[in-house]
Structure 1
Amino acid sequence: MTREIDTIPTPTHVKPKKLVVLSAPRTGTHGLYLALKQLGYKPYHMAEVLAAGVPALKIMTDGMNAELFHEGTPYGRAEFDKWFANYDIIIEMPFLMLRSTLKAYPDAKFLLTERDPEKWAKSYLNTIGLSTMRFRTFPMSVFKKFDGFAFYMDIFGGRIVDYCTNGYGVTEDGRQALIDNYKSYISEVKRLVPPEKLKVIKLEDGFGWDELCPYLGVPIPNTPWPSLNTPEEFQTIVAPRMKTAATKGMAGVATIMAVVAVGIWYGRKGLLPFLK
């Protein structure tokens, strides 16, 4: 089966990677993404996937499936260069394919934002977990079939939530699995990345310009840190995609109902013998 990444031509120029962020989602990554943009960098984050649409979502899902579920060939430097050619910082994607990322960028500068595991699990369930539940319940379970992005987002979201919760989903057992798996992920990062190449920032100790800028070697701007990392902020990011899926879904359902109604009318008039 052809991977989406294989449909992209080899780029003539690839931006050097200034930083690779190994953090899990819901650890201040969106604020970091906005902050890095403010500093003049070009970071790749889940927000870029939402903006790019179905092709980017397929690329991300293919890479995750190969890395976490051994379905296909894991991405190497050639695939990452295609994917991130125009970006100089990678955020969140390494969480889905840690070993492939480390193998592709062995000389990179790495950053890990770390959060209290119980707080992380609660935040994950209240955002990513909740969104996944919405895709699986009516009416979004129907509407997603009329919107390509929602359809593939459900596939991606469902798989990663099942993976991180050991299949328990948004339950108490799922919450405990999230805590345990997050602890394991943090330990794995620290085991695989040499300490001299890894900057670890604990959110509870403070995360802002003072922690980021010295590591990057850039001046501290005289502006507030651009994010609060709240569930409300997350919903603001995903809401436009949900609204689009709902709009397409309602239009699709209405069209089907109209076709059925016309078919019944013709059948009653005797114009469609198979409906008699």
Structure 2
Amino acid sequence: MSRYLDTLPTPAHVEPKKLIVLSAPRTGTHGLYSALKLLGYKPYHMVEVLGAGAKAARIMREGSEGEMGMGKPYTRKEFDKWFADYDIIIEMPFFMLRSTLKAYPDARFLLVQRSPEKWAKSYENTLGKVSARTKRFPFTLLKYFDGLMYELNIFSSRTDDRCTKGAGMTEEGKKNLAECYKEYIATVKRLVPPEQLKVLTLEDGFGWEEICPYLGVPVPKDLDWPGRNVPEEFAAITGPVIQRSVRRAIMSLTTITVGIIAAGVWYRRAGGPLPALSWFK
């Protein structure tokens, strides 16, 4: 099956990547994304995917599947198409680490780590809850009537399988979350040369004083670091996206249903058989 990204033209210009953030979701990545925007950078984060819609979500989903051996992994060519207008990549490398490192061997990397147990709990309270919700009715039906919901549903299911080692959000799966995170952090530190990797710890706190010197820019004065990395912030970001997707799906489903009923009424009045019934004769 062809990938959507392969259908896109080669960009005329690609922004040089000034930083690639290897941190997993739920490690202060949204606050970092907001802070880097305040500094004038153009970072790519999950927020960009949610804002762009189904096509961006498909690109992300197909890239993660390639990393998992379910398709062809992305190379620098594909990443240049995807991130052409951005100079910093955040969160996406968590879903396709080896592809990213192979594509950007000389990049400057940042990793924010946290307690594996706390990360697992945070995942369970945010991403895990969203994933579990999308596996229940009416989402199991509505996803077929909205492109973004469909793509995110597949992506979240695959991510859950990876992070819980196939156990899902069961008790066993919740225990596997911490183990998976430990393995990810160890893999990053093993694969990335120490001179190219800055490691911070979320529990120690980080802000302008840690990020700006690494980027070689001045520390801003009288400017608070944005973001709190709490479930409420996650809900504030994802909630409106889910609500809009549900509304679009319901409208599509309603339109299709009304169309079928209208067609049935027309055929009845015209004296002909309903097409759906005649197929079975």
- In 1, distance between residues paired with 2:257 and 2:60? 35
- In 2, distance between residues paired with 1:75 and 1:89? 17
Query: 1:91: which partner in 2?
Result: 90
Does structure 2 retain, via aligned residues, the 8 Å contact 1:20–1:109? yes
> Is the partner of 1:145 in helix, strand or coil?
helix
User: What TM-score do you get using the length of structure 2 for normalisation?
Assistant: 0.91
Show structure 2 runs of 5+ residues with no match.
none
Query: 2:138: which partner in 1?
Result: 139
Moved more, 82-91 or 167-176: 167-176
> Is the partner of 2:126 in helix, strand or coil?
helix
Deviation at 1:15, TM superposition (A): 0.9
Does structure 2 retain, via aligned residues, the 8 Å contact 1:150–1:241? no
Percent identity between matched residues is 58
Does structure 2 retain, via aligned residues, the 8 Å contact 1:24–1:95? yes
1:236 maps onto 2:236 in alignment: yes
CA displacement 1:165-223 (0-9 Å, x = unmatched): 11222222111111001000000000111111110000001121121111112111221
Query: 2:155: which partner in 1?
Result: 156
Go from structure 1 to structure 2 and tell me whether the alpha carbon gap of 1:17 and 1:256 turns closer, same or farther (over 3 Å shift): closer
CA displacement 1:223-260 (0-9 Å, x = unmatched): 11110011111111112221122212332443455456
**Alignment RMSD (CA, Å):** 2.1
> Is the partner of 2:219 in helix, strand or coil?
coil
Query: 2:74: which partner in 1?
Result: 75
> Is the partner of 2:177 in helix, strand or coil?
helix
Does structure 2 retain, via aligned residues, the 8 Å contact 1:19–1:111? yes
> Is the partner of 1:74 in helix, strand or coil?
coil
Query: 1:30: which partner in 2?
Result: 30
Deviation at 1:271, TM superposition (A): 4.6
- In 1, distance between residues paired with 2:116 and 2:3? 34
Moved more, 98-107 or 252-261: 252-261
Does structure 2 retain, via aligned residues, the 8 Å contact 1:16–1:88? yes
Query: 2:55: which partner in 1?
Result: 55
- In 2, distance between residues paired with 1:237 and 1:134? 16
Deviation at 1:120, TM superposition (A): 0.5
Deviation at 1:164, TM superposition (A): 0.8
Does structure 2 retain, via aligned residues, the 8 Å contact 1:134–1:141? no
User: What TM-score do you get using the length of structure 1 for normalisation?
Assistant: 0.92
Q: Which amino acid aligns with 1:22?
A: L
> Is the partner of 2:228 in helix, strand or coil?
coil
Aligned residues: 275
Show structure 1 runs of 5+ residues with no match.
none
- In 2, distance between residues paired with 1:127 and 1:245? 18
Does structure 2 retain, via aligned residues, the 8 Å contact 1:165–1:174? yes
Query: 2:195: which partner in 1?
Result: 196
Deviation at 1:59, TM superposition (A): 1.2
Query: 2:44: which partner in 1?
Result: 44
- In 1, distance between residues paired with 2:225 and 2:143? 35
Go from structure 1 to structure 2 and tell me whether the alpha carbon gap of 1:137 and 1:224 turns closer, same or farther (over 3 Å shift): same
1:226 maps onto 2:226 in alignment: yes
- In 1, distance between residues paired with 2:83 and 2:264? 52
Query: 2:104: which partner in 1?
Result: 105
- In 1, distance between residues paired with 2:15 and 2:215? 17
- In 2, distance between residues paired with 1:7 and 1:268? 44
Does structure 2 retain, via aligned residues, the 8 Å contact 1:161–1:169? yes
- In 2, distance between residues paired with 1:177 and 1:35? 32
